[in-house]
Amino acid sequence: MKIRHILGISGGKDSAALAIYLKQKYPNLKIEYYNSDTRCELDETEELIKRLGAYLGKIVRLKAAENSVIENPFEHYLKAMGGFLPSPQARWCTKKMKLERFEEYVGDDFAVSYVGIRGDEDRDGYISSKPNIQAIFPFRKNIWSIDVINKFLHNENLDQIVEIYERLCPEGFLHEEILETVRKPITKQFYYSKKMNALLDYDIKLFNHAVFEFLKTTDYPVGKLDDFPLLDNTDILVKDDVFRLLRESGVGVPAYYEEIPFEVDGETGTYCRSRSGCYFCFFQQKIEWIWLYEQHPDLFKKAMEFEKDGYTWNQNESLADLIKPERIRQIKLDIIRRQKESKANNKGTTLAEILGDDIMCTNCFI
């Protein structure tokens, strides 16, 4: 049975590094690389995708609303939504421009989707609602999605999991201790993540092989594979590893991460972008909007033009109000203050380090 291996290139550092990592470590995995082409990305993002395409060989560009008379997919769906802008509460842009097109691309094929959530992030990523698509997280200690973990460790399957561990667990050091943990049912005190972490702490490879044996009794795509090389992977990659992979491969770090100095009231700070995404992404922080206004004024102007009939990208503040001189001054002074505080506490001073680069909309970055 053919199982497709698929990796989405979002234009961000993590998905790019994951593609490089898998190509280097598992060259025999026949991975399909794709990008959701929203036509709303920064030039810096497009440049990264171009360099990555040269490194990987091929990246399929998926475009939503391909048959529309409106060239830009976002503008096509914005018109269909009656001018209602997307927001954290109504993320129709992700659903329409990325998820639906991706799931159409996979169709009814069984597919393993590799997602670049790092080992230093505490969040879950994209998990398809379609049962034929299974997400895997190679950078994490736990490579499995939360739905797989919950099924694997569910008390209804306890006897099956005990049998698998008794068969796979080698005799010797910690043998009985591991099996004792496996036999313990899930309770309010011994909850899913606690049991999972305990078993991972004993032996990551053993845990992965046990999950794999369990998946063979389900309809999950990984369970239909004869073997899966990531079962023996114990690497845990964090942000520094991601930047190292990008630099050492020659692909390079996305240019929007480059810190640009600014001055206000005689004080100096720096700004950039903390993540990839559409130029008008509503998850941007105020300082990132100012970066867009000053570094890409044409794109900022386009974003302003979308604000009509009371719809704004930021709650309670239009972009026109955001770029008033005194407001820009306030936003920049606040970042300078936060950068000083971080430096005084021996912490990083870049925007990604101060604001954090956790993806607020995990599905958007497939």
**pLDDT at site 275:** 83
The CB-side HSE value for 155 (13 A sphere, CA atoms) comes to 7
Whether 348 contacts 342, CB under 8 Å? yes
Specify whether the CB–CB gap between 25 and 93 falls below 8 A. Answer: no
> DSSP readout, 45-92?
HHHHHHHHHHHHS--EEE-TTTT-SSSSHHHHHHHHTTT---BTTB-H
Model-level pTM? Answer: 0.92
Task: Give the length of the chain.
Answer: 366
> Which residue bears the tokens 């698509």?
133
Report d(CA 181, CA 178) in Å as an integer.
5
| Residue pLDDT tens, the chain, 366 long | 799 999 999 889 999 999 999 999 999 999 999 999 999 999 999 999 999 999 999 999 999 999 999 999 999 999 999 999 998 888 899 899 999 999 999 999 999 999 999 999 887 766 778 899 999 999 999 999 999 999 999 999 999 999 999 999 999 879 999 999 999 999 999 999 999 999 999 999 999 999 999 999 999 999 999 999 999 999 999 999 999 999 999 999 989 989 999 999 999 999 999 888 899 999 999 999 999 999 999 999 999 999 998 899 998 899 999 999 999 999 999 999 999 999 999 888 777 778 766 555 555 655
In sequence order, what are the beta bridge partners of 113? Answer: 6, 135
Note the pLDDT of residue 358: 54
